[in-house]
């Protein structure tokens, strides 16, 4: 069994300005840095065997705040944890009144996202059995993880509530794929009364 902590990165300047990031790097805002610091404080006494991040800057920067309280660990990165690729939108404002089911041509599909989430889970089960793993990722992939773990079809991908920045979910991963959530999208560590972005591709 693996104890997995799934974490969304802190707010970025792009989040705050409604800019689609997709697989662009993004830059944590001042609020995002504070969110990451708050999360790191929450996890400072958490026993962790490894921290794995998407290789995009906004997740790496969030992860590095957590690492400050776990100096014996070295950050690992994995492109499986990246946000959804949306090449025609990235770096631009989200279109007005756009609907989830209408994504631009060339975007990763819900099935693509679920395949990446499943691939990451299988990689953990193969190489990290018995470990406590923190994975820092993105809103879009968090939806994919939930769809996979709840054993739902790709059509349910957008039925889940969006994850807030630095939200924390805990999952038990089992070799028989009978995974279960212990906690979903906890943000108790955010003790500042500020708006949160709900964009799912950021």
151 pLDDT more than 70: yes
Nearest Cα neighbor of 21 from 12, 30, 29 is 12
pTM of the complete model beyond 0.85: yes
Question: How far apart are the C-alpha atoms of 12 and 150, rounded to whole Å?
Answer: 29
- For residue 193 the two structure tokens come to 């009364």
Looking only at the bridges linking them, the beta strands covering 180-186 and 168-173 are antiparallel
pLDDT in the model for residue 199: 58
156 pLDDT more than 80: yes
Total residue count of the chain as it appears in this document: 202
Contact assessment for residue 7 and residue 136, using Cβ atoms and an 8 Å cutoff: yes
Q: Give the model's confidence band at 191: pLDDT under 50 very low, under 70 low, under 90 confident, else very high.
A: confident
Q: Give the model's confidence band at 1: pLDDT under 50 very low, under 70 low, under 90 confident, else very high.
A: very high
**Domains with residue ranges and CATH for the chain:** 2-92+110-186 (3.40.50.1240)
Give alpha helix (H) positions in the chain. 13-16, 30-42, 57-67, 110-127, 139-149
For 32-76, the pLDDT digits (tens) are: 999 999 999 999 999 999 999 999 999 999 999 999 999 999 999
Q: Which residue has the higher pLDDT, 191 or 7?
A: 7
- Average pLDDT value for the chain: 94
Contact assessment for residue 69 and residue 40, using Cβ atoms and an 8 Å cutoff: yes
């Amino acid at each position: 069994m693996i104890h997995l902590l799934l974490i969304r990165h802190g707010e970025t300047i792009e989040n705050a300005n409604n800019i689609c990031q997709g697989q662009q790097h993004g830059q944590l805002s001042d609020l995002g840095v504070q969110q990451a610091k708050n999360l790191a404080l929450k996890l400072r006494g958490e026993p962790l065997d490894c921290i794995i991040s998407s290789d995009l800057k906004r997740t790496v920067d969030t992860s590095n705040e957590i690492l400050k309280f776990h100096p014996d660990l070295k950050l690992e990165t994995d492109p499986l944890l990246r946000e959804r690729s949306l090449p025609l939108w990235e770096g631009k404002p989200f279109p007005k009144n756009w609907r989830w089911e209408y994504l631009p041509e060339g975007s990763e599909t819900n099935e693509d996202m679920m395949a990446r989430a499943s691939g990451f889970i299988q990689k953990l089960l193969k190489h990290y059995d018995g470990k406590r793993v923190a994975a820092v990722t993105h809103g879009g992939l968090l939806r994919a993880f939930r769809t996979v773990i709840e054993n739902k079809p790709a059509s349910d991908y957008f039925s889940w509530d969006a994850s807030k920045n630095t939200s924390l979910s805990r999952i038990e991963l089992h070799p028989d794929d009978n995974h279960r959530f212990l906690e979903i999208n906890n943000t108790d560590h955010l003790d500042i009364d500020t708006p949160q972005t709900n964009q799912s591709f950021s």
